[in-house]
Amino acid sequence: MVSSLLLLVALASPPGEPPQSDPGAALPTLLPRSAQTVQSGWEWVKDTKDGFEQLDRIGERKLGISFCTDTLDAQELLRAATDLPYELRDWVRSRHAVRPEMLALMVRAMGYLKRWQPGSTITIGDIAQRGCGQIRYGTIVHLDDDADAFLARSRLEFGVPTVTELLDAWAFADEYPRMDDLDTPVRVERIATGRTRDGKLRIETRRFALGAHVTERRLDLLLDRTSKRFKSKAAGAIEWDLVEHDDGSGPVRLRRGTFFDPAGGIWSELILQPGVKGAFPLRPDRIARIREAYVDLGKPTSLKFEERWDFDYDGEAGVHVTRWFLEYEAHHASHLSGLDADLSYVTFNNYGHFSPILALMDRVGSWRWMKALEKAARDLAIPLDALFVDPSVLRALKTVEEAGKAEPAWKKLKRSPGHDSHVHVRIRPTPRFHGKTLTEIIEMARL
Ligand SMILES: [Zn+2]
């Protein structure tokens, strides 16, 4: 089998063996692609439910290092058209890459909403990440213009240029209730996973919460299951390689094993201490790090619920084990290239956008918003595939008096459990707005 397990690792870490002087030396060059190429590539990957085949396909299309350049940033819409009452769910997560035709739809639809439901605002949630591609669990993707500054601050951690900060959870108090434990530190890890030809770095950010004290019993169980996994005889389940690592005391090479069992839904990584060649019998003093995560074949490469166990070996005091959990960050099977957008419903007094509490939703206003989206698509000849809403939302919309059965919006409203806090708008591509600037699109689409 081709080295597909390492490919899975490579999606989060560049391959190769970089020299110690430059943590960025081994970073792959990101390939510029059209958003449509990236989208159809990922759709082809998801066509198969064989986890190994998925990895082979990702490798074949080079999706791990693809990078699309023909999207716009919906964030800019708020600056360029201040009379369109859009808001952003947040300004930090960079999930607003949008195709021109989706942006046009949003401009026109808001024109109708302003007429039909004056005073209402709409909040923009996830659209697509910078550079397109699969939006993975717990992962935020940015592009960093100042590659030198990042790399100067970074260290090679387990083969990847990494900047780690330990922050007080109060730094994220705004995100309550998502970051609900304000007493423990949050580990913010930023890693570089590629460089564009014009020198921008692709940075992936993950945040980890500190786990409870690791008991003997827990540790035994961990070692036990890790041992079993890495002794597995299943074909292709395990691969070993070497990674360069610098904990501040100079670079060393560490043996890394990856275990992948897509059928069982498990991914695991085992990294050994410097100089340790054999893993077995698996003892704490031989281990540098263990990671475990769940595999979701509907969302290839998006490893869920990662737990990470750091082993610090101190000859005198023994081994200290710290456990970290990856903080939640939505992953999406669609949202690949800016043709899918999560937009809020209309709520009373514009309060509680993206809240799943149905009582906050203004049924009449939300119905008008659905109607606005449908009409805007028709006006502009943008193929609207669907407006996905939760069954509870659909039931609520059906109680709206003005929503007559003959309204064309009903044909676009599709039941989709989980879309209780937002409508997921999906369109198909159309070339009419391609190559246009944001200002041109606003002019073309404005009511
Ligand atoms: Zn969505």
Domain residue limits, the chain: 72-127+332-445
| pLDDT value of residue 5 | 52
Q: Is residue 168's pLDDT more than 50? A: yes
DSSP for 297-339 reads: TTSTT--EEEEEEEEEEETTTEEEEEEEEEPP---BSS-SSSS
Tens-digit pLDDT profile for residues 49-74: 999 999 999 999 999 999 999 999 99
- Domain 72-127+332-445 sits in CATH at 3.30.1380.10
Distance (Å) from CA 437 to ligand 1 centroid: 25
**pLDDT single digits (tens) 19-39:** 455 788 889 999 999 999 999
Distance CA 250, CA 295 (A): 34
Alpha helices, DSSP H, located in 86-146:
100-116
Over range 397-402, report the average pLDDT: 97
**Ligand 1 centroid to residue 223 C-alpha, Å:** 38
Residue 101 Cα to ligand 1 midpoint, Å, equals 17
126 CA to middle of ligand 1, Å? 7
- Most confidently predicted of 25-34, 156-165, 237-246, 366-375: 366-375
Q: 9 falls in which pLDDT band (50, 70, 90)?
A: low
CA of 20 to the centre of ligand 1 (A): 42
Query: Residue 13 above 90 pLDDT?
Result: no
Instruction: Specify the pTM.
Output: 0.89
Q: How far is the CA of 264 from the centre of ligand 1 (A)?
A: 27
CB neighbours (10 Å) of residue 170?
Answer: 11
> Ligand 1 centroid vs 431 CA: distance in angstroms?
23
pLDDT over 60 (residue 10): no
Confidence bin at 200 (pLDDT 50/70/90) = very high
Given a contact cutoff of 8 angstroms between Cβ atoms, the answer to whether 412 and 428 are in contact is no
How many angstroms does the Cα of residue 125 sit away from the middle of ligand 1? Answer: 8
